[in-house]
A and B are shown apart, each in its own frame.
Chain A
Amino acid sequence: MSAARLLVRALRDPADVLDLDAAGWTALLAAARAESLIGSLAHRLEGQPVPKRVARLLEDVRRDYAYARTQALWEAEMARRALAPTGVPVILLKGTAYVAAGLAAGQGRSIGDLDILVPRERLDAVEQALLAAGWEWVKPDAYDDLYYRRWMHELPPLMHQTRDRMIDVHHTILPLTARPRPDAAAMIAESIELVNGLRILGPEDMVIHAVAHLFADGDLAGGLRNLWDLDRLLRAFSAEDAFWDRLGERAERHQLRRPVARALRLARRLYGTPVDVQLAGRRRLSDRLFEARLLARNGWGQATRKGLRLAFYIRSHWLRMPPLMLARHLLVKASR
């Protein structure tokens, strides 16, 4: 069994892994670290009768992630203060949004950058305000800069000069070159204000953003973690009336019905997530490839299945841009 599958089992049902031997625990922990899921695992295993040394290690992890959470919230507050004069609402995305909203998806979630969503027509004001507040450009390359500005769904990344933390300013959730065109304005319109003035996406949009991030925009690196986010989000939101109907409508509106369906199937398959069968649709042959890609990690934390990884890497570029543009882009990158 791949260590990634062991990790999935542990997250899905902690009781399932309590009889592991020392080597099994070591493999599980290494895979969890490599997939950035060690914090989630530590949270899931809290209070379980795990071996003493493992318990101690997980306790360290929980303490570390509690601190990371504080740091992420502080960074969000810094962005709120920086953008307050512009009057642009700050909508938190991904990990920071989960912890700010107190969602289960935020428990033990690793958070690297601060991701925010702002209206595209206000990008200039946002950029100026951030630069004035001490953020600076990370990518000095002119081609990269122009590429980001013309084609990407976000500004080139900015780093704060003293806090060393990165901010990604999104104006929509997929590159402009991608075929689906999500309705960013609708996402912003239906965002929800938190008590501290920061905002998060509405439940359906939050799920759809997680899906877009997972299936429509990348090579599935970190996929197990993103799918775990989805599991947590869906378990929390699906208790509400007519959630699945709204999710279906919203997926249609953002032109992401198929990725949403695939995400539901894979979440159910790997994490046992309760999903709407209608929306998820029938299992497809290609699901197996996605599953194999998600589980390509061994007990040393090493990436396995090189060929499959390469195929998904190529797919990610294929999804991002039309062939001619891709060729030109790769040519520029290669000639450096």
Chain B
Amino acid sequence: MRHEIQLQVGPVGFRVGSHWRAPIEALRGLYEGYPVPEACDFTVRLEAEKPWRRWLRPSVAIHGDYMLPDAAPLPLAQGLLAAEMGMNLQMALGQKRYLLLHASSVEKDGRALLMTGHSGSGKSTLAAILGERGWRLMGDEFALLDLADGRLHAFPRAVSLKNGAISVVAGITDETRLGPLLVGTPKGSIRHLRPRADALARMAEPAVPALILFPRFGRDLAAAVRPVGAAEVFMRLTQASTNYVALGEAGFAGLARLVHAVPARAIDYPDTEAALALVAELWKEPA
């Protein structure tokens, strides 16, 4: 591969190679300050599907150690997104050390707040905002549950802000930590946010999960909190996990332990201020 970058994110080392310079340069900008891994857990390759597509209407196919046969290529202008998707794919298909939860997580005083829900529920936005307001951002795409000791490991990749969330977060952070605006992606407009320096500096520090939230965003919703039964929490988390089945009994035991030990709530919120107030209130309650 002509162009290459190696990144250590939490406990995972990535190597991303590309036929083109641009995606690697974009990664370099976004992941400035991330350490270089001792050895790489996963390889991502951004390559032309057909030789001529390297120059002619360049199109980036996402390959690597683990691949999906029917993953559609992206135009070169969205090379950064392709790299991000490539890293996610390696984790989703190849990571077997941790139970992966499609969730965002933030930390305070060694205790972690885990947020999961459907796309559009606002979990990324909430995590990004909390990360700007005194919490340590542990991650946006994946939370890594250690099956041996039940702790969460940080995986602070760049936060992927979509559509409406872009302006909300851009308003409260400094421009230098934002990546290029990617328009017309399969998920609309996307802009990445580099986590704050403390999130990078402390990314090797795990935290004990203390609260699970299932946020739901809607402009017409009234702010509300509901308890969620253990069985429902368990089912929702299996659905939020990309490798629960692949981990077998260890995955079941790890997830059961998390559900037993950690309280969970569903919250509805009409705007971020309301959400922050709910989080602050719930965080004060004794576990």
Interface residues, chain A, CB within 8 Å of chain B? 22, 25-26, 29-30, 33-34, 51-54, 56-57, 60-61, 63-64, 67, 70-71, 300-302
Chain B residue numbers with a CB within 8 Å of A302 are 45, 47
Which residue of the partner chain A has the closest CB to B6?
A26
B65 with A34: CB separation less than 8 A: yes
10 contacts between A and B (CB under 8 A): A22-B39, A29-B39, A52-B38, A54-B39, A57-B39, A63-B250, A64-B246, A67-B248, A300-B43, A301-B64
Closest 9 CB pairs of A and B: A53-B39, A64-B96, A26-B40, A33-B65, A60-B97, A30-B43, A67-B248, A53-B38, A25-B39
Is the CB–CB distance between A53 and B43 below 8 Å?
no
A57 & B38 in contact (Cβ 8 Å cutoff): no
Contact B248 A70 (CB under 8 A): yes
CA distance A327 to B45 in the complex (A): 36
The answer to whether B37 touches A53 (Cβ under 8 A) is: yes
Query: A26 near B17 (CB under 8 angstroms)?
Result: no
A6 CB → nearest B CB, Å = 14
Note all chain B residues with C-beta closer than 8 A to A52: 38
Q: Which residues of B are at the interface with A, using a C-beta cutoff of 8 A?
A: 1, 13, 15, 17, 37-41, 43, 45, 47, 64-66, 96-97, 246-248, 250
Q: How far is the CA of A105 from the CA of B97 in the complex (A)?
A: 25
In the complex, which residue of chain A has the Cβ closest to the Cβ of B98?
A60
Complex partner residue of A51 from B38, B43, B248, CB under 8 angstroms: B38
B65 contacts across to A, CB distance below 8 A: 30, 33-34, 301
Contacts of B66 in A (CB 8 A): 33
The answer to whether A26 touches B15 (Cβ under 8 A) is yes
Q: How far is the CA of A301 from the CA of B47 in the complex (A)?
A: 12
Q: CB-CB < 8 A to B64: which residues of A?
A: 301
Q: Which residues of B contact A26 (CB under 8 A)?
A: 15, 39-40, 43
Report whether A51 and B39 are in contact in the complex, using a CB–CB cutoff of 8 Å: yes
Enumerate chain A residues within 8 angstroms of B37, measured Cβ to Cβ.
22, 53
Residue on B nearest A20 in the bound complex, by CB: B39
If A26-B43, A34-B65, A53-B37 touch, does A300 touch B17 (CB 8 Å cutoff)? yes
Q: How far is the CA of A67 from the CA of B65 in the complex (A)?
A: 20
Q: List residues of chain A with CB within 8 A of the CB of B13.
A: 53
Residue ID in chain B nearest A59 by CB atoms: B97
Tell me, in angstroms, the Cα distance from A301 to B250 when the chains sit together: 30
Expressed in whole angstroms, the minimum distance between the Cβ of B153 and any Cβ of chain A is 13
The chain B residue with its CB closest to the CB of A21 is: B39
CB distance from A135 to the nearest CB of B (A): 19
Contact residues in A for B247 (Cβ distance below 8 Å): 67
Q: Check B248 against A301 for contact (C-beta < 8 Å).
A: no
A61 and B41 CA atoms in complex are apart in Å by 11
B13 nearest CB neighbor, chain A only:
A53
Q: B13, B39, B97, B247 — which one has the most chain A CB atoms within 10 A of its CB?
A: B39
CA A67 to CA B245, docked complex, whole Å: 11
B contact residues around A33 at 8 Å (CB): 43, 65-66
B1–A300 CB distance below 8 A = yes
Q: Are B45 and A300 in contact (CB under 8 A)?
A: yes
Measured CA separation A64–B97 after assembly (Å): 9
B15, B17, B43: most-surrounded residue (chain A CB, <10 A): B43
Q: A53-B13, A300-B17, A302-B45 are in contact. Are A63 and B38 (CB under 8 A)?
A: no
Complex: A251 Cα to B216 Cα, angstroms: 66
Task: Tell me the minimal C-beta distance from B97 to chain A in angstroms.
Answer: 5
Of chain A, the residue at the smallest CB distance from B243 is A64
Q: How far is the CA of A156 from the CA of B43 in the complex (A)?
A: 34
How near does chain B come to A198, taking the closest CB pair, in angstroms? 22
Q: How far is the CA of A34 from the CA of B45 in the complex (A)?
A: 13
B residues near A22, Cβ cutoff 8 Å:
37-39
Also in contact, A301 and B39, with CB within 8 A (given A34-B65, A53-B13, A60-B96): no
CA distance A52 to B39 in the complex (A): 9
Min CB distance, B142 to chain A, in Å?
16
In chain B, what residue has the closest Cβ to A302? B45
Closest Cβ–Cβ distance, residue B4 to chain A (whole Å): 9
Q: How far is the CB of A59 from chain B (nearest CB, A)?
A: 8
Residue in chain B with minimal CB distance to A33: B65
CB-CB under 8 A from A70, the residues of chain B are 248
Please give 10 more A-B residue pairs, beta carbons under 8 A apart, in addition to A71-B248, A300-B1: A29-B40, A30-B43, A33-B43, A33-B65, A53-B37, A54-B39, A57-B39, A64-B96, A67-B248, A300-B17
Name the distance in Å between B186's Cβ and chain A's nearest Cβ: 26
Closest chain-A Cβ to B188's Cβ sits at a distance in Å of: 32
Q: Considering the complex, give the chain A residue whose CB is closest to the CB of B47.
A: A302
Known contacts A30-B65, A53-B13, A70-B248; is-contact A63 B39 (Cβ 8 Å): no
How far apart are A27's CB and chain B's nearest CB, in angstroms? Answer: 9
Chain A residues near B45 (CB-CB < 8 A): 300-302
* Of A56, A63, A301, the contact of B43 (CB 8 Å cutoff): A301
